[in-house]
Structure 1
Amino acid sequence: MIRRRSTPWIHKWSRLLIAAIAGLGILTTGYLTIEKLTGGSAACVAQAGVKGCNDVLSSPWATVFGQPLALFGLLAYTSMAIFALAPLVLKAGENNSRKQLENLTWWLLLVGAIAMSVFSGYLMYLLAFQIKALCPYCISSALFSLSFLVLTIIGRDWQDFGQIFFTAVIVGMVTLIVTLYAYAGVNTSTGSSTTGQPEKISFFPKQDPNPEFGWKITTTSGQAEIELARHLVKIGAKEYVAYWCPHCHEQKLIFGKEAYQIINDNIKIECAADSPKAKPELCQAAKIQGFPTWIINGKTYNGVQNLDELAKISGYTGPTNFKYFK
């Protein structure tokens, strides 16, 4: 009598485990996507003096092709959940179709797990050596990706591990190339001098401003701009603006989208009375007569300020390789 070999428990439960982890990833990245798109702050416990999750979300690496990185993570986790559960929804009688779908989705799970693991590895490098922050969400996502890879490899009886290795090499190389291309425009230098020619900013409005935010910011920030913005918040600087003011928008463009989000959330004061965010009483109390106006360390500075000037008058000592000037 031939004894039938029992199926290892991990083979029975691997797809459900992958789907469960993907569900956690969907919740995490969905939450971060909403916070990023709405300009909110992610719930995160960080030690004093240590950069946290919101520093990561406001960094230039948190935006890819103009969209929040968390949104791409949400799509990736959703895809992994679909690949894991798809064969399980077929009826037991549809054995041939189910077998074909199982084989296809296992390969899709493998490709997805490899790509997510490689990309997460690169993000861990950025987290440790570029952003220098502690982000539980990011670390959890990296662990989720690694778990996908482990469960995909041990979760079924692969006949040819050589194919797995070959697939890993090809997918890993493609993922790394695409990742480096996506972040090619991000200024990662942390030195104290300019390594390239900064770009001159000028703005001529072609449409009416939105009373809530003015015009959209079309420039991106480097790490130097972000560090300066954090410094200005730390020392209690204030920027007084009017949403309809083109010069105020030039100041935004000089900072870039990510850095100015920090300014906007903490120290910007809107003076235009018809804006939903207006605080005219604060502007009157500060005797503001033009826009933009900076008040730094008790002194008033009128008009658009180049970032090297803001760095000088505010006592900023971080990287100064700013990307734009007026």
Structure 2
Amino acid sequence: MIRRRSTPWIHKWSRPLIGAIAGLGALTTGYIAIEKLTGGAAACVAEAGAKGCNDVLSSPWATIPIFGGQPLALFGFLAYVSMVILAVTPLAWKPGDKNSLKQLENSTWWLLLVGAIAMSVFSGYLMYLLAFQIQAVCYYCIASALFSVSLLVLTIIGRSWEDIGQIFFTAIIVGMVTLIGTLGVYAGVNPSGVTSDSTSGESRKINFTPTEQPNPAFGWEITTTSGEAEIALARHLATTDAKEYVAYWCPHCHEQKQLFGKEAYQILEENQIMVECAAESPKGQPEVCKAANITGFPTWIINGTPYSGVQNLDQLAKISGYTGAKNFKYFR
């Protein structure tokens, strides 16, 4: 009597697991896509002065230029939904004959493999950008990368592949095509920081590393110039209940100034939006900062709600109710 070999549990549950993980990925990227499309701010915990999820959403890498600047998260959502469909289709819809079912299972497995490889390679590139270019901590991005890798692992171990060599060949081909395509999509993005005006009409990244001692009267000189959108936002903030608490020696405070540009930030100063907290500054108002319970710089308080750390201008526009032009020149 020949004993029939039992099916490994992972082969029984691989498709439901892939569908569940892809579903979590769809929820994550769908939420980010909605916030990006509506100009909202993602719920994200970040230390004061540190870059977080919304800095990533404000970066030029958060959109796909060749598709009219649509959010990257939207395409991630579509990719995860596709993986859900491929995973559950043979479970939910069974053809009348076994040959058709076997063909459906085989074709969807190969499509799952191709999709998981492409998503993992693309996520790996995004993790590189997150660590070395944007230099931010985005828990949504990290979660999506983990989901992508998990899908790849489950796709490989979730069934008995007849030709392991073909898996490696597929991985090499799909990986190379994905990487080349990704580099091509983002070829026009300028990864360098700037300390001077941008005339290209595109957002530019702001980085600031102090090379000299700050002046107690004003900190460091603002070297960026404002566009119409920055000036309009500054004028709007001057009409709201907004305050920015700063210290002249704080590099992050200077980054905030650079985002606005010289002309727009002058409007904030003239309308007393900026509050200097350093006692040694001739403009210092430490008692005002103490009364406001300021513990880090910069800190914005808009309509009674505190916002710690440097804020990208589209974020300030959102939380302050600004509805004007948003083609801001710089991001962090």
Q: TM-score range by the shorter chain?
A: 0.5 to 0.7
CA distance in 1, matches of 2:267, 2:237: 17
Of residues 177, 182, 193, the one that matches 1:179 is: 182
> Are the equivalent residues in 1 in contact too, given 2:120–2:148 (CA < 8 A)?
yes
Alignment partners' CA distance in 2, 1:51 and 1:281: 25
* Deviation (angstroms), 1:157: 0.1
Residues 87-102 of structure 1 aligned to structure 2 (within 5 Å):
87-91=90-94, 93-102=96-105
Task: Measure how far apart 1:323 and its partner are.
Answer: 8.1
The partner residue of 1:149 within 143, 152, 174 is: 152
Does residue 1:224 correspond to 2:191, yes or no?
A: no
Change (3 A) 1:42 1:180: same
1:259-289 deviation digits (Å, cap 9, x = unpaired)? x6xx98x756189xxxxxxx5999xxxxxxx
Shift of 1:192: 5.6
Task: Using the TM superposition, give the Cα deviation of residue 49 of structure 1 relative to its aligned residue in structure 2, in angstroms.
Answer: 2.3
**Per-residue deviation, residues 69-108 of structure 1 (Å, max 9, x unmatched):** 0001001001100110111122374322111110000000
How far apart are the structure 1 equivalents of 2:22 and 2:241? Answer: 49
**Residue of structure 1 in register with 2:285 after alignment:** none
Higher relative contact order (CA 8 A, sep 6+): 2
Percent pairwise identity: 67
Counterpart among 257, 264, 269 of residue 298 in structure 1: 269
Residue 269, structure 1, aligned to residue 236, structure 2? yes
- Normalising by the residue count of structure 2, what TM-score does the alignment of the two structures yield? 0.64
Quote the Cα distance in structure 2 between the aligned partners of 1:293 and 1:188: 24
- Mapped to 2, the partners of 1:49 and 1:294 lie a distance apart of 19
Deviation at 1:60, TM superposition (A): 0.7
Equivalent in the alignment of 1:19: 19
How far 1:159 sits from its partner (Å)? 0.8
CA contact (8 A) 1:51 1:132 kept: yes
TM-score, normalised with respect to structure 1: 0.65
Q: Secondary structure at the match of 1:186?
A: coil
3-state SS in 2 of match to 1:223: strand
Residue 48 of structure 1 aligns to a residue in which SS?
coil
What is the CA–CA distance in structure 1 between the aligned matches of 2:181 and 2:134, rounded to whole Å?
Answer: 20
Show the counterpart of 1:110: 113
Aligned length: 236
Q: Secondary structure at the match of 2:78?
A: helix
Cα offset for 1:166? 0.4
State the SS of the aligned residue for 2:193: coil
Deviating beyond 6 angstroms after TM superposition, the runs of 4 or more aligned structure 1 residues are none
Equivalents in 1 of 2:15, 2:82: separation in Å? 13
- The 2-side partners of 1:56 and 1:85 are apart by 32
Contact 1:19 1:85 in 2 (8 A): yes
Counterpart-to-counterpart distance in 1, 2:264 and 2:193: 29
Unpaired runs of at least 5, structure 2: 210-217, 219-225, 243-262, 272-327
Q: Which amino acid aligns with 2:73?
A: A
**Gap change, CA 1:47 and 1:293, over 3 Å in 2:** closer
Question: Partner of 2:59 in structure 1?
Answer: 59
Contact 1:127 1:133 in 2 (8 A): yes
Give the match for residue 311 of structure 2: none
8 Å CA contact 2:193, 2:207 repeated in 1: no
Looking at structure 2, the residues matched to 52 and 251 of structure 1 have their Cα atoms a distance apart, in angstroms, of 27
Kindly provide the amino acid, as one letter, of the partner of residue 179 in structure 2: L
Aligned residue for 2:7? Answer: 7
- Compared with structure 1, are the counterparts of its residues 224 and 98 closer, same or farther at alpha carbon in structure 2 (3 Å cutoff)? same
In 2, Cα distance between equivalents of 1:225 and 1:39: 24
Contact preservation (8 Å) 1:36, 1:68: yes
SS in 2 for 1:43: coil
Do the aligned residues in 1 keep the contact of 2:112 with 2:155 (CA within 8 Å)? Answer: yes
How has the CA–CA distance of structure 1 residues 144 and 184 changed in structure 2, closer, same or farther, with 3 Å as cutoff?
same
